[in-house]
A = this chain, B = another copy of it.
Amino acid sequence: MWLQREIGLAARPRGFHLVTSEVVEALPELGELRVGLCHLFLLHTSASLAVNENASADVRVDFERWFNRAVPEGAPYWTHTLEGDEDMPAHIKAALLGPSLSLPVTAGRLALGTWQGIYLCEHRDHGGARRLLATLWGER
């Protein structure tokens, strides 16, 4: 079984957002897979995907705080500055976290650990809606 579908993710403010439910609800065919993989690929270069803690919202606040310090806006070494102060840092953050996730599927569900959720990491101030290409394959 192969399935590929583009999923639109609603626009979110800059920061780290839990989107597990939004992704799973867009992929009801997950339920047909006995064993397989779910590949999620964000079609953008200034937002990213990650897997991390799904419980405390302050974890996601701290992600934003750390990344802003690690990849500072307005640093004197940036040369790509025409698209806004946060644009070049957004590209670096997106590369560090990456545009894609490969998640195992077991018995019709994403096989995530108890505390794992899917983050949409929005690195732009006004990134707008984001497009995700999901690919599912495996055995029924």
A residues bordering B, Cβ < 8 Å?
A: 2, 4, 35-37, 39, 41-45, 50-53, 56, 58-59, 61-63, 65-66, 69-71, 77-80, 88, 91-92, 94-104, 106, 111-116, 119, 131, 133, 135, 137-139
| Smallest CB gap from A16: residue in B | B95
Known: A37-B39, A70-B70, A106-B4. A77 touches B100 (CB 8 A): no
Which residues from chain B contact A59 at a C-beta distance below 8 Å?
A: 80, 88, 91
**SS class of chain A's interface: helix, strand, loop or mixed?**
mixed
Oligomer: number of copies: 3
Q: A43-B111, A106-B133 are in contact. List 5 more A-B contacts (CB 8 A).
A: A2-B35, A43-B114, A63-B91, A66-B71, A102-B102
Contact A77 B71 (CB under 8 A): no
Task: Tell whether A138 pairs with B2 under 8 Å between CB atoms, given A69-B77, A80-B56, A92-B66.
Answer: yes
Decide: A98 and B98 in contact? CB cutoff 8 A.
yes
